[in-house]
Amino acid sequence: MLLAAAWPSLALAQARQRGGTAIEVRAHGARGDGKTDDTRAFQQAIDALPDAGGTVQVPAGDYLIDAVVGVRLRSRMHLALASGARLLAKPNAAERAYVLNAHRVEQVEISGGRIIGERAAHKGTTGEWGHGVMIRGSTGVSVHDIHISHCWGDGISIGGANDSGGAIAPSRDVVIERVQCVGNRRQGLTIGRSRRVRVFDSTFADTGGTLPGCGIDIEPDAGDIADDVRIERCTVHGNRGAGIQLYKRVSNAVVRDCTIESNRGHGILTLGASDCVIEGNRIRLNGLGGVGVRPGTRGLTIARNEFNDNGPRGRTPDGATRKGKRHVSIGESTVSIRVDKSNRYFD
Please give the mean pLDDT across all residues of the chain.
94
Q: What is the pLDDT of residue 314?
A: 77
Q: What is the pLDDT of residue 8?
A: 42
Query: What's the CA gap between 98 and 66, in Å, rounded?
Result: 9
What class has domain 57-346? mainly beta
Beta pairing, strands 168-169 & 161-162: antiparallel
Report which of 323, 325, 328, 326 is spatially closest to residue 339, judged by C-alpha positions. 328
Q: What is the tens place of the pLDDT at every residue in 23-57?
A: 999 999 999 999 999 999 999 999 999 999 999 99
Q: What is the tens place of the pLDDT at every residue in 120-162?
A: 999 999 999 999 999 999 999 999 999 999 999 999 999 999 8
Q: What is the tens place of the pLDDT at every residue in 162-185?
A: 877 788 999 999 999 999 999 999
Q: What is the pLDDT of residue 3?
A: 42
> 9 pLDDT band (50/70/90 cuts)?
very low
Query: What's the CA gap between 231 and 267, in Å, rounded?
Result: 14
Peptide bond into 212 cis (omega under 30): yes
Q: Which of helix, strand or coil describes residue 56? A: strand
pLDDT beyond 60 at 11: no
pLDDT beyond 90 at 12: no
Query: What's the CA gap between 251 and 228, in Å, rounded?
Result: 7
Let me know: does 184 contact 150? Beta carbons within 8 Å: yes
Q: What is the pLDDT of residue 234?
A: 98
Q: What is the tens place of the pLDDT at every residue in 218-236?
A: 999 999 999 999 999 999 9
Give me the numbers of helices (H) and strands (E) for the chain, helices first please: 1, 38
pLDDT beyond 90 at 319: no
Q: What is the pTM of this model?
A: 0.95
Mean pLDDT of 282-298: 98
**DSSP bridge pairs for 199:** 176, 231
Mean pLDDT of 98-122: 98
Considering just the CA atoms, what is the radius of gyration of the chain in Å?
A: 21
Query: What's the CA gap between 219 and 273, in Å, rounded?
Result: 10
Q: What is the pLDDT of residue 5?
A: 40
